[in-house]
Amino acid sequence: MNTDTKSDGVRAHVREVVLAAVRGLVLALAMLPVAVLCFTLTLVSVALIPLGLGIVTTPAVLGGVREFADTRRRLAAEWCGIPIRSSYRPLPEGANPWTRTVLMLGDPATWRDMRWLLADMTAGFVTALLPAVLLFYPFEGFAVAAGLWRVVSADGHPYWYGFVPVSDQPTALGAAATAAVLLFAAYHLAPRLLTAHFRLTRAVLGGDQGELVERVRVLTETRRDAVDTSAAELRRIERDLHDGAQARLVAMGMDLGTVEMLVERDPARAKQLLAQARRNSAEALEELRDLVRGIHPPVLAERGLGDAVRALALRLPLPTEVAVELPGRADAPVESAAYFAVSEVLTNAVKHSGADRIWADLHHTDGMLRITVTDDGKGGAAVGAGSGLAGVERRLGTFDGVLAVSSPAGGPTMVTMEIPCALS
């Protein structure tokens, strides 16, 4: 059994070596002319800008360079699993050629593409071609050793195989030995050389700037989501105050005004209105407490996230088990975001899952606060526009948190939330 497994592993590696050699050969022979053409056309087009012609041609040429670079990015991800971000600045729709030319030449990614074209024509070409050379060149050495040397050196001049001059059978065997060494090197190095080619591509074409641009984009989106969420929360608070406690306080004031007029003429009616005013005040106070609890629950501030989720679970109509392993407390904003995220997920489970039971688990490992909410409902939950889970994802994104949902048809549903943070 072990022998069969080892044989399967060898065959799989041989296929990987051959595939790396073929892919490298395609990159070296097919991509090199394209890289040279792109680089030359770009230089010519930019040089023609002062004459006016380059204003028309440069956007098209640079667009072609970007498509070529994106093709290499896609191949890097598909062939070697090396992601390379594309960080070109967006161009306004309907922009005229002059605007497009100025914006594209002002984009740092354009000049990164030019540096990559130079590297791709030199070091990139070598690293792409080497896997094919190491794999296919040894077959010539074996052919020479098998007798081909008699034909190729028939004029009396030795036939050079690499650094071995072949003029008789012993030197032909030396060529075969050299070929065997190259084939051994291909077996161990061909996939690595192709990976090295794409790593070189990432180093030049991606660079730290691409990651920085992507990071800025993510931060911009999360900041916008945070502002939108805060505005929506303020509108909710205003609406709850206007429709709830404020209306009851206004009604209570009107009742007290009526009591002042009836206290001497109709004491019994005045007592009824006072009792009604007392009920309104109690209800208004309860609504204010609920509102405060919705903004920042006192138990969260006083006792932390674990006890706050336990208290939240006690108010649910479904049996809910809560497991907490938190050796400390996170920062208040993180705790608040995590609490309301759990609250939204639990509310969704109660309303939509059809579950009989819910489990919540909170723990902190490897600098990450992980929260899992599981129910035994019908499943089918998904993160999408308009869903409560989309709002949870935006809330967590403000803190670089992520949300994952596993909810096959028929259940169960598991919602996992992670927020990077430290506990004090």
Q: What is the pLDDT of residue 234?
A: 63
Cβ 238 vs Cβ 109: under 8 Å: no
Q: What is the pLDDT of residue 224?
A: 62
Rounded mean pLDDT of 266-278?
Answer: 78
Residues 6+ apart with CB under 8 A from 326: 304, 305, 306, 362, 363, 364, 369, 423
Q: What is the pLDDT of residue 1?
A: 46
Eight-class DSSP state of 402: E
Between the ranges 80-94, 119-133, 271-285, where is the mean pLDDT highest? 119-133
Q: What is the pLDDT of residue 269?
A: 79
Residues 6+ apart with CB under 8 A from 334: 369, 399, 419, 421
Between the ranges 234-243, 270-279, 345-354, where is the mean pLDDT highest? 345-354
Q: What is the pLDDT of residue 393?
A: 80
| pLDDT, the chain, mean | 83
Rounded mean pLDDT of 89-118?
Answer: 90
Q: Are strands 402-406 and 413-420 parallel, antiparallel or unpaired?
A: antiparallel
pLDDT band with cut points at 50, 70 and 90 for residue 99? very high
Task: State the Rg of the chain over Cα.
Answer: 36
In this structure, of 42-56, 134-148, 186-200, 388-402, the range with the lowest mean pLDDT score is 388-402
Look up residue 42 and give its two tokens. Answer: 């770009």
Distance CA 344, CA 390 (A): 10
In this structure, of 6-10, 18-22, 282-286, the range with the lowest mean pLDDT score is 282-286
Contacts 24+ apart (CB under 8 A), 359-362: 359/320, 359/321, 359/322, 359/323, 360/309, 360/313, 360/320, 360/321, 360/322, 360/323, 361/322, 361/323, 362/305, 362/306, 362/309, 362/322, 362/323, 362/324, 362/325, 362/326
Q: 304-329 pLDDT, tens per residue?
A: 888 888 988 888 888 889 999 988 88
Whether residue 357 has pLDDT greater than 80: yes
DSSP string covering 21-71, please?
HHHHHHIIIIIHHHHHHHHHHHHHHHHTGGGTHHHHHHHHHHHHHHHHHHH
Q: What is the pLDDT of residue 242?
A: 66
SS3 359: strand
Cβ 141 vs Cβ 178: under 8 Å: yes
Q: 233-265 pLDDT, tens per residue?
A: 666 666 766 666 677 777 777 777 777 777 777
Q: What is the pLDDT of residue 348?
A: 85
pLDDT band with cut points at 50, 70 and 90 for residue 295? low
pLDDT band with cut points at 50, 70 and 90 for residue 38? very high
In this structure, of 64-78, 103-117, 239-253, 405-419, the range with the lowest mean pLDDT score is 239-253
pLDDT more than 90, % of the chain:
32
Q: What is the pLDDT of residue 196?
A: 94
Instruction: Label residue 94 exposed, middle or buried (CB < 10 Å: 0-12, 13-18, 19+).
Output: exposed
pLDDT band with cut points at 50, 70 and 90 for residue 49? very high
Whether residue 277 has pLDDT greater than 60: yes
DSSP H or E stretch at residue 362:
strand 358-365
pLDDT band with cut points at 50, 70 and 90 for residue 126? very high
